[in-house]
Structure formats: structure tokens, C-alpha cells
Amino acid sequence: MRIGVLTGGGDCPGLNAVLRAVVRTAEKQYGSDVVGFRNGWRGLLDDDAMPLDRPMVHNLLTRGGTILGSARVAPEKIRDGLGRMREVLDAHGVDVLVPIGGEGTLTAAAWLSSEGVPVVGVPKTIDNDIDGTDLTFGFDTAVSIATDMIDRLHTTAESHQRVLLVEVMGRHAGWIALNSGMAAGAHLMITPEEPFDIEEVCELVTARFERGHRHVIGVISEGATPKPGTMPLRDGGLDEFGHRRFTGVAQQLGEELERRTGKEVRTTVLGHVQRGGTPTSFDRVLATRFGLHATIAAHEGHVGQMVALHGTEIALVPLADAVARLKTVPPSRLGETTAFTG
């Protein structure tokens, strides 16, 4: 059998570990081989392929990023390119395609599957917002990095009696803000799931200083928004792929907070540092198990499926179900922060 692989969407630590696991499992367990397509779906549309064998995946377990490269391609090009993608897959003798990506890549994968292309999906994303799996790899690494950064901000904030706002990634879901905020003892967490009220944020900050505390740490997802009519947030429009362009919610909240409370505010935007570098041991293991089980699923004919973590076991879920909705932070999880914030 020949397996085709590609990595789509934003990169994340662990993608290379999946590639290594797919190649090793295919070669060692099945005597199969693997071909990689460069830069996500673009590699399939442009017939940009590279063979992947065991020497090629040496030392990949710990390496961040993806040796295949990743890219975003307008969804219309995917839909118009069905015939072309079939041709390229046939030309390379690919029996099953294993796309590794977030909800966008997997939506395209589910659609290809519905068109009869044999596909087994692997979920990745630091945002942890893919439904059907308890976790995605990349998330643990991003949370660890963010936690370390927030730990460091506590001391400098205290020295200057400042409010430190940290903006973390999380377009639609606040998992990184929730977990890094909880892990680092943040006093305030704002996620995209619950629009924030600037008045409440001001009250929290003022009350905390009045109680004699010397600093405030707030963690804010990049995709957070104010409650309508409470404070303005600049509109950045949409990018060429239809994604909302962010305009820096933490900076804007900080300016408003400083104006209203008179407290000194500083803002740190963590950005792509959360996605760079080596995966944590947890993500290395999860990525390896996803690659292993995706390859087994491909050989056993379980196509149209996505590998998923259920508890401690790796399961298969229909791709169409996994992409039907995003896994956002439920109110019950946000409620758990109440005892620790303020």
C-alpha cells in the first residue's frame, strides 16, 4: 500500500512526530511506503510531492514545525480541484490519503471522503478546538509555553504594581487561555466563548488593589470580544481566506482599563512563540500514537475516519462528525475558574 500525507493550516509542535510515526509504521509493520505532499492542499493541486522513507524521518520526533511545509489555500480552489487532486493521487499510486490539520483541513478531508477519496484524518492544533477528540497535539506544548511566560510576568507586575495583560492564541476557543491561566494562577481569564464586560474587568482590578494586592495578571484569547455596546474593538475585516483579522484585543482592553481605573497596564502578546520549537513529551506521545493508529486504520480500510483521543485510548470517529462543530470551552469549565480569579 502507499499512503499520502500532507500537513495543512497553522503548524504546531508534533506534526513531524506524526510524519515519523506514519512512515515507521507503514514500513516496519506493513512493508508499505509513504509519499508527502508539500504545503498542505497546494501540494496536491500542484503535484508537489516528496517520497518519505525512514532516513527522511530520522530525528523528527522532537523537531517542531513540519518538514512538509504548510499553507492555506482558498476553499474554492479545493472544490474546483477535485479532478486534479484525484489525478495526482493516482499518478503517485496513493491508496489512502492522511491529511493532518485543523478544522479547515479536516473539513476539506471530509468533503474529499464524501466524494469517494479514501482518507484518514489526523487532528492537530494548538487551539484544541477539534470536536470528537479529547485533545489535539500541540495544545499541551502551547499551554506549557504560555504558562512559563505568565509565571515570569507575575514578578515584574508585582514589582511595579501593574496590570499585566497577556494575549494568547485561540481564535474561536479559549482552551489555551483557560489552561495556561489556571496553571499560572491568573486573576482574570477572558475567552471567545463569553464576551467580556469592561465594567466588570475594571471592578475586578480595582477591588484587587483595594484588598492590598500588588498586581493583576489577565489572560485573554486573541479571539475574545467585548459585550456589544460596552467598549469599541477595532474591526480588521476578513483576510483572503475569510478569517477575521485580529486587531489586538488585549492592547485595546488595556488602554480602556488604564483610562478607567488609573492603574498602569502593560500588554504582552505571545503570538507564534506558542507554536514554535519542540513538542512536550505529552505531545510527542500523542502525535506518535495518532500517526501509528492513522496508519493502522488506513491498512484496515477504516477510511472516512479521524483518529481521536478518548480518555487514554485512541479511537476512530467519522470525519463528518468531527468537523460538524468546533469544540469550544463549555460554561461549566469557565465556571470552575470562579474560585481562583479576582
Ligand X SMILES: O=P(O)(O)OC[C@H]1O[C@](O)(CO)[C@@H](O)[C@@H]1O
Ligand Y SMILES: Nc1ncnc2c1ncn2[C@@H]1O[C@H](COP(=O)(O)OP(=O)(O)OP(=O)(O)O)[C@@H](O)[C@H]1O
Query: Which is nearer to ligand Y, 118 or 218 (by Cβ)?
Result: 118
To the question of whether residue 150 is assigned a binding role by annotation, the answer is no
Nearest-angstrom CA–CA distance, 249 and 226: 9
Give the total of residues touching ligand Y (CB under 6 A). Answer: 20
To the question of whether residue 105 is assigned a binding role by annotation, the answer is yes
CB of 183 to ligand X, least distance (A): 18
Nearest-angstrom CA–CA distance, 4 and 89: 8
CB of 102 to ligand X, least distance (A): 5
To the question of whether residue 208 is assigned a binding role by annotation, the answer is no
6, 108 contact by CB (below 8 A)? no
Does 102 bind ligand X (CB under 6 A)? Our answer is yes
To the question of whether residue 72 is assigned a binding role by annotation, the answer is yes
Nearest-angstrom CA–CA distance, 298 and 29: 12
To the question of whether residue 289 is assigned a binding role by annotation, the answer is no
The length of the chain, given as a count of residues = 342
Give phi and psi for 173, each to the nearest 5. Answer: -125, 145
Q: Is 127 a catalytic residue?
A: yes
Which of the listed partners (ligand Y, Mg ion, ligand X, none) does 275 bind, with a CB threshold of 5 to 8 Å by partner kind?
Answer: ligand X
Segment contacting ligand Y by CB under 6 A, of 5-13, 27-35, 203-211, 231-239? 5-13
Query: Which is nearer to ligand X, 171 or 284 (by Cβ)?
Result: 171
Nearest-angstrom CA–CA distance, 214 and 148: 20
Give the total of residues touching ligand X (CB under 6 A). Answer: 10
154, 204 contact by CB (below 8 A)? no
Q: Which of 24, 111, 127, 177 binds ligand X (CB under 6 A)?
A: 127
Segment contacting ligand X by CB under 6 A, of 79-87, 165-173, 209-217, 292-300? 165-173
Does 10 bind ligand X (CB under 6 A)? Our answer is yes
Segment contacting ligand Y by CB under 6 A, of 4-12, 178-186, 201-209, 220-228? 4-12
114, 92 contact by CB (below 8 A)? no
Contacts (CB under 6 A) with ligand Y, residues 57-76: 72-73, 75
223, 129 contact by CB (below 8 A)? no
Residue with cell string 507575575: 154
CB of 245 to ligand X, least distance (A): 10
Segment contacting ligand Y by CB under 6 A, of 23-31, 104-112, 155-163, 290-298? 104-112
Q: Which of 11, 53, 127, 235 is catalytic?
A: 127
Does 104 bind ligand Y (CB under 6 A)? Our answer is yes
Interaction site with ligand Y (CB under 6 A): 8-10, 40-41, 72-73, 75, 78, 101-105, 107-108, 111, 125, 127, 241
